[in-house]
Amino acid sequence: MAENQSLDQFKAQPRLPKFANPRRYDLKLKPDLVSCKFSGSVSITIDVVSETRFLVLNAAELEIDRASIVYRSAAAADSAKEVRPSDVHVVEEDEVVVLEFGEAVAVGEGVLGIGYEGTLNDKMKGFYRSVYELNGEKRNMAVTQFEPADARRCFPCWDEPAAKATFKITLEVPSEVLALSNMPVIQENHNGHLKTISFQESPIMSTYLVAMVVGLFDYVEGQTTDGIKVRVYCQVGKANQGKLALDVAVKTLDLYKLYFATPYPLPKLDMIAIPDFAAGAMENYGLVTYRETALLFDDQHSAAANKQRVATVVAHELAHQWFGNLVTMEWWTHLWLNEGFATWVSYLAVDSIFPEWKVWTQFLDETTDGLRLDGLAESHPIEVEIKHAREIDEIFDAISYRKGASVIRMLQSYLGPAIFQCGSQLTDVVKSLASYIKKYAYSNAKTEDLWGVLEEGSGEPVQELMNSWTKQKGYPVISVKVEGHRLEFEQSQFLSSGDRGDGQWIVPITLCSGSYDARKNFLLQKKLETLDIADLVGNQKKWIKLNVDQTGFYRVKYDDDLAARLRSAIEANDLSAADRFGILDDSFALSMAGKLSLSSLLRLMSAYGREVEYTVLSNLITVSYKVARIAADAATELADDIKQFFINLFQSPAEKLGWEPRKGESHLDAMLRGEILAALAVFGHDGTRSEGVKRFRAFLDDRNTPLLPPDTRKAAYVAVMQTVSSSDKWGYESLLRIYRESDLGQEKTRILSSLTSCPDPAIVREGLDFLLSSEVRSQDAVFGVAAVSKEGCETAWKWLQENWDHIVKTYGSGFLITRFISAVVSPFSSHEKAAEVEQFFANRSKASIERTLKQSLERVHINTNWVQSIRQEKSLAEVLKQLVSGKY
Ligand code: BES
Ligand code: ZN
């Protein structure tokens, strides 16, 4: 065996060869926060499982100074010897280092020692530097972000989730700073202006979860009922902003202990806000890192939406401490096991802590985003083949998170009763999860392992049912027709392009008729099925709603008769909020796909005139933005009427909410107020614009004015930006002033996502250029790109091309670059534009953006078809006139 090995066989492989398994890492690092260099040495205890002349492990951007292995050879089993490799090959392309030995290393235990140097980079991955201010001075901190495959940029390792090992970490740092890692400190030795900090050895875990942070921070501290110490670390002087997250974390840990029937596995939990951070948060074992906006909450200046974001992100990352960290996916193909589950479980926790937020209704935002992405031919299955580390970043997407979470919800509602009512009444699904966690703790699992446990727990054919949802991309649309008291169902794959895909699913169909007590459910296994519902409807023409409460991951297309009955049911307020949401959302998707006229969609929207529910109105707003844009592309003369129609639709709920909070009002009203006022401002409602500007002036005079509380600030900023033009830049410049003066991430984000919403393309350009200036952290620029106004789209595309080299340099190695592409490209609606984009990227694409680029181009084609089908709607202008005048 060892004789036939050659270097080439280790190249371009998706996974490392299995000659040896790491058992324990003894890692010593010395970061220099001034020069931004670090030196490291690692001793890895390995099990050599087959005799080999090569040891292959991951390393990237590290300068290896020395390497050797100490092991007992087969010949002299009683004495260990140290052998240096005859050659060290660095294969940069594959991020591996191959240690070649003159003689084969024997089977058995060995200790591999490697000394090396590296750089604290500016790319927000690996071992990197983040910049913060202390007493007006800029300082560097050292931070790690290793998921999915960047531990290799900090130390040579078997950088795969299944290669679990223990970690003993030691840091040498300046004596005045704080150093944190996954485990508690066990020893601190000072020598001069340096100190050596050793952390307790970790339980076995994957490399992507190892973490270190070195810098100056304040903290707040709490404790779980088990006595686990929980801390939230913040900027110096801002410890108060950590209190909300601390409170949520302590409660959540107690809940998860119950759900998973397993205590939190580590002795402590630290959570820390990092000023430069690519993702929203990262679940490192025992040391969770966050963007500031996802962890910190300021009572004076953070909004209700910010509060919900903090709670959700904390609940999500803490779910990973079990689901991901204790039980880890075997390979990135099963990433959704981590992300889909953490997403779903976070709703259980947040719902339990904040029942008045009705997050299970808000969950539909997750489902609809999953459906939206999965309606593309360029989508991918939940379980996706990964052939190279560079492909992993792109699957942290709405399929893994949102479709993943949604299919779990679908399964849970198929298997068990409603989500549990109180902490002690766990559903069967949650009980099965606990046995899954127990069975695979300190180990790895695949998708089928989870189904196995659920199948055992429920006695249902979970494996077969779920394979159709995780192994193929896409989802079905169920067309339903009524003939007296018989319903006819037909499933076909839904594609937003209007094409018919050839997928087929096992669909858990639920329906109710006339009331939520009259229900039926069955599994639709074939393409066609009929069902007699005489027992539900008798001879009456009652409304019939499929996918009750939208727990299924599919869409429904009703025949005209059923659609009309549902429209009346919405007007009569007979349906649940989730069902009102679903009917709107499916109709919107069908309209985009050319399966439902825009007139019908608008008529349906007019049925929501008395809507009060946050999640439904919020989706109504999202849909109206998209409809207004596409209608303007289809026929400019429609644009004003469409806007007026939406203004009419939103005016009365907006008037009820007003600009200032009422005493004791709900969290959901607080969130709704901001969204609805912003929509009115964008659609051109004069009253909202002038009120927004007026209140903004008051805010400029006094940052604590009660006239512009945090929940309405974004709406006021957007209103102000609608009035800005090249000849009158007062609003724009005032916003920049607030941006520069504020040191609250959430405030800065609000401003960035307003600046480019201006109808004047010249201002949009200025805003976009500002995003790339040194005043905006590279983590934040995408907010501005995603907010570009309809009028600014062309400008944004030009800007993207002109700045592409710079953008690649700053973002090219991370996943944020994909957001630039989708935000700029997807809004277009002509085949010519698609061709232009394709041409630009012809020689600029690469593995890490390929999928996003294809998806964005597909969206352009979908928009183009949509525009064409709208142009063919002869009666649209007429219908719209009637709707605007209130005749429908
Ligand atoms: N594991 C991810 C962080 C991550 C994302 C690492 C992408 C590498 C690439 C983390 O658990 C996560 O999912 N964070 C979310 C927030 C969450 C509430 C959905 C995020 O970063 O947006
Ligand atoms: Zn996650």
CATH of the domain at 352: 1.10.390.10
424, pLDDT greater than 50? no
- The reply to whether 317 belongs to the active site is yes
Ligand 1 pocket: which of 339, 394, 401 to mutate (most atoms within 8 A of CB) = 339
Pocket test for ligand 1, best of 285, 295, 307, 396 (most atoms within 8 A of CB): 396
Residues 539 and 422 in one domain: no
Closest ligand to Cα 346: 1
Q: Is residue 504 part of a domain?
A: yes
| Residue (of 311, 287, 293, 175) closest to 231 by Cα position | 287
Give the pair of three-digit tokens for residue 531.
Answer: 């069902």
Residue 755 contacts by C-beta under 8 Å, 6 or more apart in sequence?
A: 721, 732, 735, 736, 767, 770, 784, 787
CB contact at 8 A, 509 and 522: yes
pLDDT tens digits for 736-772?
A: 999 999 999 999 999 999 999 999 999 999 999 999 9
pTM as predicted: 0.97
Confidence of residue 423 (pLDDT cuts 50, 70, 90): very low
> Residue 170: is its pLDDT beyond 50?
yes
- The tens digit of pLDDT for each residue in 345-385 reads 999 999 999 999 999 999 999 999 999 999 999 999 999 99
The rounded Å distance from CA 317 to ligand 1 centre is: 8
Q: How far is the CA of 738 from the centre of ligand 2 (A)?
A: 33
Q: Establish if 670 belongs to a structural domain.
A: no
Whether residue 434 sits in one domain with residue 479: no
Written as one letter, the residue type at 744 is L
Nearest Cα residue to atom 2 of ligand 1? 282
- For residue 389, the model assigns a pLDDT of 86
What is residue 798's three-state secondary structure?
helix
Nearest atom, ligand 1, residue 312 CA = 18
Per annotation, catalytic residue among 147, 283, 292, 317: 317
What CA–CA distance (Å, rounded) separates 475 from 492? 8
Q: Which of 149, 181, 213 is the last residue of a domain?
A: 213
CA-CA distance, 21 to 110, in Å (whole number)? Answer: 10
Please check whether residue 822 lies inside any domain of the structure. no
Average the pLDDT over each of 272-281, 579-588, 866-875, 879-888 and give the range with the smallest value. Answer: 879-888
Mean pLDDT for the stretch of residues 79-88:
92
388 is in an annotated binding site: no
Nearest CA to ligand 1 atom 17: 313
Nearest to 546 by CA among 454, 626, 476: 476
Cα–Cα dist 536/532, whole Å: 9
CATH of residue 520's domain is 2.60.40.1910
Quick one: 6 and 61 in the same domain? Answer: yes
Q: Which domain, by its residues, includes 416?
A: 322-470
pLDDT in tens, 581-634: 999 999 999 999 999 999 999 999 999 999 999 999 999 999 999 999 999 999
pLDDT beyond 70 at 887: no
Nearest CA to ligand 1 atom 18: 313
Q: 75: pLDDT confidence band, cut at 50, 70 and 90?
A: low
- Neighbouring residues of 831: CB distance < 8 A, sequence distance ≥ 6: 860, 861, 864
**pLDDT at residue 388, rounded to an integer:** 86
- Cα–ligand 1 centroid distance for 390 (angstroms): 17
12 or 757, greater pLDDT: 757
Ligand 2 centre and the CA of 282: distance in Å? 7
Ligand 1 atom 5: residue of nearest CA: 279
Domain count, the chain: 3
Distance 811 CA to ligand 2 centre (A): 21
pLDDT of residue 276: 98
For residues 553 and 579, membership in a common domain is answered with: yes
Residue nearest to atom 3 of ligand 1 (CA): 282
The ligand whose atoms approach the alpha carbon of 366 most closely is: 1
Same domain membership, residue 486 and residue 432: no
Percent of the chain with pLDDT over 70: 98
Binned at pLDDT 50, 70 and 90, residue 72 comes out as confident
With respect to residue 226, please indicate whether it lies within any of the assigned structural domains.
Answer: no
Which residues' Cβ are closer than 6 Å to ligand 1?
Answer: 147-148, 279-283, 312-313, 316-317, 320, 339, 342, 396, 401, 815
Q: Which of 438, 470, 502 is the last residue of a domain?
A: 470
Distance CA 69, CA 40 (A): 17
Ligand 1 test: best mutation among 123, 316, 321, most atoms within 8 Å of CB?
316
- Rounded CA-CA distance 433/240 in Å is 36
pLDDT tens column, 641-680: 999 999 999 999 999 999 999 999 999 999 999 999 999 9
Domain end, chosen from 549, 567, 588, is at 588
CATH number, residue 143:
2.60.40.1730
What is the model's pLDDT at position 337? 96
8 Å CB contact between 861 and 831: yes
Percent of the chain that is helix, strand, coil (3-state, to 5): 45, 25, 30
Q: Which atom from ligand 1 is nearest to the alpha carbon of 316? A: 18
Tell how far the Cα of 397 is from the centroid of ligand 1, in angstroms.
Answer: 10
**Atom number, ligand 1, closest to the C-alpha of residue 393:** 9
Report the phi/psi class of residue 265: left, alpha or beta, with left for phi > 0 and alpha for psi in -120 to 50: alpha
- Encode pLDDT of 218-248 as tens digits: 999 999 999 999 999 999 999 999 999 999 9
316 is in an annotated binding site: yes
For ligand 1, mutation pick of 150, 274, 282, 346 (most atoms within 8 Å of CB): 282
Domain identity same for 461 and 379: yes
Q: Which two tokens stand for residue 830?
A: 């002509």
Residue 290 lies in a domain: no
Cis peptide, bond prior to residue 381, ω within 30 of zero: no
Integer angstrom CA distances of residue 593 from 53, 488, 579, 863, 865: 58, 22, 21, 9, 8
Rounded mean pLDDT, 322-329: 98
485 is in an annotated binding site: no
Q: Are residue 138 and residue 169 in the same domain, yes or no?
A: yes
Q: Could you tell me if residue 65 is inside a domain? A: yes
Determine, yes or no, domain membership for 873.
Answer: no
Atom 15 (ligand 1): residue with closest C-alpha?
280
The pLDDT of residue 422 is 37
Distance CA 585, CA 592 (A): 11
pLDDT of residue 824: 98
Q: Is residue 348 part of a domain?
A: yes
Instruction: Tell me, yes or no, whether 158 and 184 share the same domain.
Output: yes
Would the pLDDT of 417 be above 70?
no
Whole-number Å distance between alpha carbons of 551 and 347: 14
Ligand 1 atom nearest to 283, measured from its CA: 11
Which ligand 1 atom is at minimum distance from the Cα of 346?
Answer: 18
Q: Which amino acid residue places its CA nearest to atom 1 of ligand 1?
A: 282
**684 burial level (CB within 10 Å; 0-12, 13-18, 19+):** middle
Note whether 510 and 444 are same-domain residues.
no
Distance (angstroms) between ligand 1 centre and the Cα of 403 equals: 15
Q: Which pLDDT belongs to residue 82?
A: 94
Atom of ligand 1 nearest to the CA of 317: 11
Summarize pLDDT for 509-563 with one digit per residue, the tens: 999 999 999 999 999 999 999 999 999 988 889 999 999 999 999 999 999 999 9
What is the residue with the minimal CA distance to atom 10 of ligand 1?
282
- Let me know whether 397 and 509 are in one domain: no
Least confident range from 201-210, 391-400, 439-448: namely 391-400
Of ligand 1's atoms, which has the minimum distance to the CA of residue 401?
A: 19
What is the CA(393)–ligand 2 centre distance, in A? 13
Do 445 and 502 sit in the same domain of this protein?
Answer: no
Q: Strand, helix or coil at 381? A: coil
The whole-angstrom separation of Cα 852 and Cα 876 is 34
Residues 465 and 497 in one domain: no
